[in-house]
Structure 1
C-alpha cells in the first residue's frame, strides 16, 4: 500500500512539473537590436529565412531620446538556436513596394557558438536599406549646381572628344564581342558568381562600416583636383623648370658633401660642450628666474642709489681718508674676536644667569634661591699677602686671571695665541704680583 501511494505521488509530481514547464516554454525566443533607423517597421512585421516566416518584431522602442530605435525580435524554435554570426537585413517586399517590409534572416556558420536567449544582436549584424528620401537628400543645392555645371561642360567636352569617340566606336564591336565571352564565362558558373557577388557585398559593407566618412573624403579629393586643374598653367611651368632645378640641386648636393663632413666634425667637437651646457641649463634657468624676480627690486634700489649719490659723495670722501685706520681696526678686531670666540659658552651663560637672577623663579624654586658667601675676615682693608699666600692659607680657594675658556666647567681650553695659558690658573704666577 505504501509503495502504491509513493508511485502515485511521483506520477502526480511529474505531471505537475510537465505542466509548469510546458506552460512556461511557448517555443518562442527573444532577441533585441539597436539601430539608427528602421523606417516603416511595425510590431508584428515578419522575420523570414529562406522564404519561410520564422518570427516577428515583438516591440519597437525609441532610445537615446529618439536618435535610435530598439527592436524586439521574437523567433520560433525552427531556427533556434541561432549561431554566432547570424545577420539580419530589413528588406522591401517588392521593387515598387515601400511600406510592406520584412526582415531577412541569414544564419551564421554552422557549428559556431549559439547566441543566448534574450541577448543583444550587434548593430553591425542588422542592415537597413537606403531610403528614397535619404538618397534625395544627398542632392543638396550645391550638388545640384555642380551637377548642372558638369552637364553643361559635358557638351563642349564631348564635342572636342568626338573624333576620339568615333574611332573608339569603330573598334567597339570587337570589344563588345570579347565582353560577351567574359559574360558567358561569368554566367557559366552561377555558384562562383554568387560567391563573388556576396564577397563583394561583404567588402563594401566592411568599407562602409569602417569608414563612414568616405563621402567626405571623395568630396575633398574632388575639390583638390579642381584646385589642381585651376592651376594647371603654373603646374606646367613648374614641371618644365623641374629638370634644370634637379640638375642644379645635384651639383649643389655634390658640393654639400664636404660641408656636411666639416659640420659633422664640428658637431663631434661641440658634443662635450653641449653635454656640459645641458647640465648647467637647469641651474642657469633657476638663476635667470631669480634675476627676473629680483629685477624690480634691483631697479628700485639702483634708482634710490642714483638719487643718493650727491649725499654719498662727501661720506665716501671722508670714509676714504679713514680706510687705513679702519683697516688696522679690522685686523685687530679680527684677532680679538678670534680670542673671544672660545668664550661663547661663558658669554651665553652670563646672560642666562643674569636673567635667572632678575626672575622670580629659576624653573625649580620661587622668588629666591640664595648661595650665601662669607667673606674672608680681615682686621684691616689692605691684606699684607698676595695670591700665592692666600692659596696657602685657604687651600680650597681657586685662582684664575684671566680664566681660560671652559674653566668654570672644569675643562680648561688654553689659548696660547691669546696669552691664556696654564700660568693664568697658578696663583704663584699672578701677573699683578709680578708687576
Structure 2
C-alpha cells in the first residue's frame, strides 16, 4: 500500500512540474492569437497540450485558471489557422486509453465575424469518468468497484513493469493514432469501398449457384492438377535412373566415335570418288529420260489397275473362305481315295494301251517282239528273288487299305 501511495504522489509531482513548466513558458511568450475557453472542469488537461482541428494541430494550451468554480483555458492558435470565427465550438477529447487529453476545435463558418484576440469560444462540457460512474446504479458501481479492486491486486507490486510497458507502448500508441488518423482522413474512401463491397456481396449472393458450381469446378481442377502433380512427381522420381542410363550411353559414345573413325577414314577414298561417279551418272540419267517418259503410260495403266485391285482383293477375300471350306470338306474323300491311286493309274494305263495300236487315222498296227530264251522276261516272276506274284490283287491292297463295300464286305 505504501508503494502505491508513493507511486500516486510521484505522478502528482510530475503533473505539477509539467504545469509549472508550461506556465513559465506561457509567461515568457506573450505574442500570437489567443482565445479563451470556459469549462466546468479541466481535469486531465495540462499546459502545452495540443489544440487540434480536423485532425491537425492548430495550436496549444497556454494556461489553465480557475474562476468562479469554472476552468478558464487560454489557448494560442497558429497564424496559419487564425483567426477563429463565431460559431466555433471546442471540447476536451481523450486521445488514448492512457488518459492523454487535448482540446478539439471545430471552426465556425468563414463568413461569420472573427473572434477577437482574447475572446471567448463556446466550449462543450467535459464528460469525466466520475460523471459516468455517478450515472450508474449501485449494483453496477459495485461491480465496477470489484473490477477496479481486482485490477489493483493484479498491478500491485508491478508498477515499474507497468511504467516500462507504458513507455514502450508510447510509439505503438502513437503509430496507432496515426493509423486511426489516416482512417479518419480516408473515411469517405473507406465508406465507398465498404459500399462497393456490400454491392459485390449482394451480387455474389444472387449468383451463389454459379459461384458454387465455379468452386466445385475449381475443386475438380485442383484434384486433377494434384493427380498430374503426382504423375509429374513419379516421372521426376524416375528421371535420375533415366539420366544415369543416358550418362552410361553418353560415356560409351566416345569409344564408339573412336571405333567409327577408322571406318570413316576407310570410306574417305570412296567418298572422294563420289563426285566423279555422280558426274558419270549424269549422261546415264539423261539417257533414262526417254525410258521414264515411255514408262508413264504403263504407270497410268498400273494406276488404273490398282484402282480395281482393292475390289478384286475383296472378291478373292470373300471367295477364299468358301474355297478353303470346300477343300477342307474334300480332304476326307481324297484321304480315302489315295490308297486306290495305283489301281486308278493302272486303269488309265490299260485303257491307253487298248487304243495305243491305232494311229491318228484309225489304222491298227501291232508288233510282236520275240525275246531270246536267255531274256529275263522269259523267267517266271515267282522265280526272281524278292518278288511275289498275285494274279488278282484286292483294290487298295498296295496302299494298305483293301476294298470294302458299304456293308463292309471285301471283293467277291
CA radius of gyration, larger in: 2
Establish whether TM, by shorter chain, passes 0.5. no
Query: Aligning the two structures, in what range does the TM-score lie when normalised by the shorter sequence?
Result: under 0.3
TM-score (norm 2): 0.26
TM-score (norm 1): 0.25
